[in-house]
Amino acid sequence: MQLLGRHSEEGPAGGTQLLGMLPFDVVRFVPPDAAHKVPHMGWNNLHDLQTPLFAGLSGTVTPGDKEDKSRLSANLTAADYVYFVHSYYAPIGDYTIAQASYPAGVPFSAGVRHGNFYGLQFHVEKSGPVGEQILRNFLTGDLR
C-alpha cells in the first residue's frame, strides 16, 4: 500500500521515493509516551469502510471493544479486526477506503485506492475470517 504514495520517511537519510500514484507521504508513528510502542503490532479495528472490497464486513465497533484483547468477546465479530505490523503509515485522505487508529489515537489509512489499484496496510493473510472475506471480494467481486 505504501508504495502507492509519493515519499516515505523510511529508508536511508532523506527517506525513499515511492511510485507517486497517490498524494500522500508515509510518516513514522511518534509514540506520545513509553506505554505506546512502535511498531504498531496486533489486532486493530477497521472502520469507515468504502468500496465493495469490504462487502460483508461490519466496519463498526462498540465502545470498549478496542481494548478487548481476546478479540472474541460476545459483542465482537471476527470481521471487525485485522492484523497490523507497521511503524509507518499513510495519513487519511480522499484516497482512503478503510481507516484504523494507532493506539495513541492517530487515525491512518488502512486501505487506499487509485483507479483499479488497491492497497492494504494490514496483513490480509493473517487476518482470519476478515482477511478471507477481503480476498474473496477481491477475487470474485466487481470492485469498480
Q: Which whole number is the average pLDDT over 33-62?
A: 85
CA 129 from chain centre, in angstroms, equals: 16
pLDDT value, residue 96? 97
63 pLDDT exceeds 80?
Answer: no
Amino acid at 62: T
- Under 8 Å CB-to-CB from 2, ≥6 apart: which residues? 8, 10, 18, 26, 88, 90, 119, 121
53 pLDDT exceeds 80?
Answer: yes
pTM exceeds 0.85: no
**pLDDT tens profile 65-118:** 444 333 333 333 554 799 999 999 999 999 999 999 998 889 999 999 999 899
pLDDT value, residue 57? 87
Gap between the Cα atoms of 8 and 19, Å rounded: 10
pLDDT value, residue 71? 32
Catalogue all structural domains in the chain, each as residue range(s) with its CATH number: 2-140 (3.40.50.880)
Amino acid at 121: Q
- Under 8 Å CB-to-CB from 85, ≥6 apart: which residues? 39, 40, 41, 123
